[in-house]
């Protein structure tokens, strides 16, 4: 994976259940808001991080939608 967060690779996200994916989505959206705020105030040091976070958000939305359509299956709960 060339862009994005290393711990949010699609293979890693496949192992998350829907609640954890939604939590990761919320975290990524908050980070994107903070990065945009830093960019607007001229404090942003890494402009590539904006692109990476946007890709992470899109990746999470894609996995959630594929599960909704039945293309991808959610991990089974093993106890």
Rounded to whole angstroms, how far apart are CA atoms 12 and 34?
25
Tell me the domain boundaries of the chain: 17-69
Question: Which tens digit of pLDDT belongs to each residue from 36-51?
Answer: 999 999 999 999 999 9
Q: Which CATH class is domain 17-69?
A: mainly alpha
Question: Which tens digit of pLDDT belongs to each residue from 1-26?
Answer: 345 566 678 888 888 899 999 999 99
> What's the pLDDT score for residue 1?
39
Q: Mean pLDDT across the stretch 57-76?
A: 89
Q: pLDDT at residue 78 above 70?
A: no
> What's the pLDDT score for residue 15?
86
Q: What is the dihedral of CA 63, 68, 70, 74, to 10 degrees?
A: 60
């Amino acid at each position: 994976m060339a862009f994005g967060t290393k711990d949010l690779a699609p293979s890693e996200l496949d192992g998350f259940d829907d609640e954890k994916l939604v939590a990761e989505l919320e975290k990524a959206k908050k980070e994107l808001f903070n990065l945009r705020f830093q960019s607007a105030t001229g404090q942003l040091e890494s402009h590539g991080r904006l692109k990476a976070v946007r890709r992470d958000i899109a990746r999470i939305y894609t996995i959630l939608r594929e599960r909704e359509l039945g293309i991808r299956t959610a991990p089974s709960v093993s106890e």
